[in-house]
Structure 1
Amino acid sequence: MTAVQQPTTPPDLSWLESVSMSQLERNPYPTYERLRREAPLAFVPVLGSYVASTAEVCREVATSPDFEAVITPAGGRTFGHPAIIGVNGDIHADLRGMVEPQLQPVEVDRWVDDLVRPIARRYLEAFEDSGRAELVGDYCEPVSVRSLGDLLGLQSVSSDQLRDWFHKLNRSFTNAGVDEDGEFLNPEGFREGDEAKAEIRATVDPLIDQWIAEPADTAISHWLHDGMPPGQTREREYIYPTIYVYLLGAMQEPGHGLASTLVGLFSRPEQMEEVVDDPALIPRAISEGMRWTSPIWSATARISTRDVTVAGVDLPAGTPVILSYGAANHDTGRYDAPTEFDLHRPPLPHLAFGAGNHACAGIYYANQVMRIAMEELFEAIPNLERDTSEDVEFWGWGFRGPTTLHCTWEV
């Protein structure tokens, strides 16, 4: 006699009603750990969206032909259209074709060392004899924004200005909280992002005018000209949303990935010593750091193109799903003790750079910036230690990294 299978009682997810944006920004891990355990795909009211929290579901949605890219409402409000991270079809193909030639490994290898290494050395020279530094603000972020700023053609913009723009765009992009009607809880939270975009336009418009008339070997100039018929350029309004994407995500990722990797190494002093003694281990340390605290933690989304069932959840056509790659990279079904940094963890692929046809175009570039910056740091200051009198606090739900990292060393 065959036993009658009893229907599974769905989990009680009423606790999600109390989840706030401040909780997620301060520490998203407890919420997402519970989601992975109880509902790997669930609607989170404060985000006004379904959220994928496990490696399996994130990868399924990211690579499924039943989903296409969509930008989150706060991201769309910040970047405008057509931002490369939220478009599909011919527009996405054109924008990827616009940015990818400069980011191919063979091309990056041609110039990345000459670009990044002098920048890293210049910032190190400013503090290496002082015996102490706050590395997020003094080194990790400046090296990241200066390298990308110079690549884009923004040599005339100070690193402090670039950092200010990316922080303002970050806070605007992650101002994601909505009420039960889908209205933003904090519409004023977009003001500083709008101010940053106005400053960016005032700075970049004259450069675009110049590059239209006289093409240069800068990324933005290539975006204007490459692949266009003779005598024509892409419209500036068409490329500005992707410029904003770069001035946020492409600047944030290497800087905060480097800082998070350093924090992880400080948590394992014996592994820090290994990496300092053997720079060949740096890429492996960076890969683990990116998994451990993914800089682009939960900033991308997909939308269903037809009625579809994922992880037992029926999603009507037109349903957005936020891909929480930072949560997926802590999936206990894939990683042992995922909350711990471990240089010697088996090298399983992670999702810090996304998946599918919208995976980060700058994977190789970002890894090389971090590698070079870490090589230079350990060469200049091999006896680096974390200042344990100062706490290390991480912030962010969409984008995440340490806010400060105080260090000391004997001179």
Structure 2
Amino acid sequence: MTMTTPNWIADVTMEELERDPYPFYERLRAEAPLAYVPALGCWVASTKEMCKRIAGTDDSDFEGVIAPAGRRTFGDPAVLDANGAEHDDLRAMVDPGLQPSEVDRYVDALARPIARRYLEAFENDGEADLVSQFCEPVSVRSLGDLMGLRSVNSDKLREWFRKLSVSFTNAGVDENGDWANPEGFTPGDEAKAEIRAVLDPLLDKWTVEPDDSALSHWLHDGMPPGQVRDREVIYPNVFVFLLGAMQEPGHAMASTIAGLFTRPGQLERVIDDPSLVRRAITEGVRWASPIWSAVARRNHRDMVIDGIELPAGSVVMMSYGSANHDENDYSSPAVFDLDRTPVPNLAFGAGKHACAGTYFATEVVRIALEELFEAIPNLEPDTDHEVDFWGWGFRGPVELHAVWEV
């Protein structure tokens, strides 16, 4: 396989993809929409049409699967890696509390006080790093409180998702298919040990004293009277949520602000008209997708797709961040444009394995941005700091410095 892989694909490194995946994926879209990438040890679908064709199929051709680094990070059974009845059972565990009608019941009372609390800490300072002081804390606190982790401080929740992210994106392999950096999984292992130590007593408590937290519902819902769900079923999915769901709203929020910072006139319009916040979020997650390339599919049989032979059992990474820059659907895709003709994007996936928390994440971002723009209507980017994005699996600004007159 490697003998037929073009050099420009064979030579790409994980470091290049983490720093800036866009040039490489732009060329993939143009020349090899379905390609084997040796650095990742898997195939990559880079166009919107290819991602939809593979991710949107039922389980008869492709099944949901976690890329090897993800499996090493989460363990089994994780909802991203389950199929058929097992997938249905796991989604039945996590989905009910994330349905739009249920989210509408609780999200404002959950997220708005959290956003206000973090804003009060810096709104009179005239400057802030919005990633570390607002976007990520609001994101992790909102999900943490929903899950029942009120006793875990926001800095620890951020530490957990960062360590899990390091492990999940440690996808590099050598020429033998072995991990290029096995030590890259150590941070994730440390986080998982801490998470279990914190959650075990809470799960003990919820077993005999259930409450309205998400994890209490995961224990009890759908189980026969007197029984609770096995913790070894719960924990892999806790890790999924503490990684993806913890950082998705924060990254979406920061990317939307960063995009608006590139268009001062559009930022002013959104601040003046809160009804435009939803539209700004939609463009923000298209422009810089939080789940950039973090989910995969595996085919059941030998296939030929557009002349490309795909052997049975091939892992195909869905590069949604690339698909959302597909020139066939979006003109000038690298430009943030609030007035772009609305075209559905793949920021939160497609098919049966689409993100369960799409509506919850979007609503948390909406509420937080409403509060931010109301509290600081003269928000501007701090031109002394560049906006540095990072990540290939999950992507968002590392820092986002802003200033305003007090």
TM-score under structure 2 length normalisation: 0.98
Structure 2 counterpart of 1:172, one-letter code:
S
Distance 2:386 2:374 in 1: 25
Structure 2, unaligned runs of 5 or more: none
Is residue 184 from structure 1 mapped to residue 163 from structure 2 by the alignment? no
Aligned partner of 2:55 in structure 1 is: 62
Distance 2:386 2:329 in 1: 30
Matched residue SS, 2:95? helix
Pick one of 192, 201, 205 that aligns with 1:210.
Answer: 205
Distance 2:306 2:292 in 1: 21
Aligned partner of 2:23 in structure 1 is: 30
Distance 2:41 2:238 in 1: 27
Structure 1, unaligned runs of 5 or more: 1-10
Q: How does 1:155-304 map to 2 (within 5 A)?
A: 155-304=150-299
Aligned partner of 2:6 in structure 1 is: 13
Identity %: 66
Distance 1:56 1:85 in 2: 21
Is residue 87 from structure 1 mapped to residue 109 from structure 2 by the alignment? no
Aligned partner of 1:381 in structure 2 is: 376
Distance 2:123 2:202 in 1: 35
Q: CA deviation at 1:397?
A: 0.1
Aligned partner of 2:325 in structure 1 is: 330
Q: How does 1:17-166 map to 2 (within 5 A)?
A: 17-65=10-58, 66-166=61-161
Q: CA deviation at 1:311?
A: 2.9
Distance 2:272 2:126 in 1: 20
**CA-to-aligned-CA distance 1:77-135 (integer Å, 9 cap, x gap):** 10000111111011110010011110011100000000000000000000000100000
Contact 2:5 2:36 in 1 (8 A): no
Matched residue SS, 1:15? helix
Q: CA deviation at 1:310?
A: 1.9
* CA RMSD between the two structures: 0.8
Contact 1:57 1:310 in 2 (8 A): no
Matched residue SS, 2:301? coil
Structure 2 counterpart of 1:336, one-letter code:
S
Distance 1:406 1:43 in 2: 38
Matched residue SS, 1:117? helix
Matched residue SS, 1:50? strand
Q: CA deviation at 1:399?
A: 0.2
Q: CA deviation at 1:12?
A: 7.0
Pick one of 345, 353, 356 that aligns with 1:361.
Answer: 356
Structure 2 counterpart of 1:219, one-letter code:
A
Structure 1 runs (4+) deviating above 3 angstroms are: none
Q: CA deviation at 1:64?
A: 2.0
Contact 2:161 2:243 in 1 (8 A): yes
Contact 1:177 1:186 in 2 (8 A): yes
Contact 1:329 1:351 in 2 (8 A): yes
Matched residue SS, 2:43? strand
**CA-to-aligned-CA distance 1:32-70 (integer Å, 9 cap, x gap):** 001001100000000010100000000000012310101
Distance 2:199 2:339 in 1: 44
